Amino acid sequence: MQVDPRGQRFAAAITSVVLIGVLIQGSWVLLACQALVFALATFLGLRYAPYGLIFKALVRPRLGPPTELEDAAPPRFAQGVGLVFAVVGTAGYALGITWLGIGATALALAAAFLNAAFGFCLGCEMYLLVRRFSPKKHSDREVPA
């Protein structure tokens, strides 16, 4: 599946605003809602991501077609990374380990902001590193050397 990279930046911008709100309010409930957004994108795919649906319905028609598309796997992996940080942060806030909630939220915010402001997807880069260093799968027709 291919996705519009502008949608990923849009989602990262909304995520950044939500995470700033979490840091200001210290709200584990708001962070849990963001974790749900990450979970939907991670497990159901970017096609069902709430911020992506907003982009598709309200923003993309005003921008016109994209000049390029990108593979959905790296951004979907990035959503999973965001989910991990959001879950850890939610647990930190909910259990009264405020420093953990703040730290995990701040790291997720840094990654989201990099994508929103500069188009640099940290989770996507992590995906590429994981793929580079993961063992190669051989097809049935290949004979290992």
Confidence tier at 134 by pLDDT (50, 70, 90): confident
Rounded to the nearest integer, the mean pLDDT of the chain is: 93
Provide mean pLDDT across the span 67-71: 94
pLDDT of 130 > 60? The answer is yes
> Does the model's pTM come out above 0.85?
yes
Give the span between the Cα atoms of 30 and 40, in whole angstroms.
16
Give the span between the Cα atoms of 73 and 61, in whole angstroms.
24
Locate the domains of the chain by residue range. Answer: 2-131
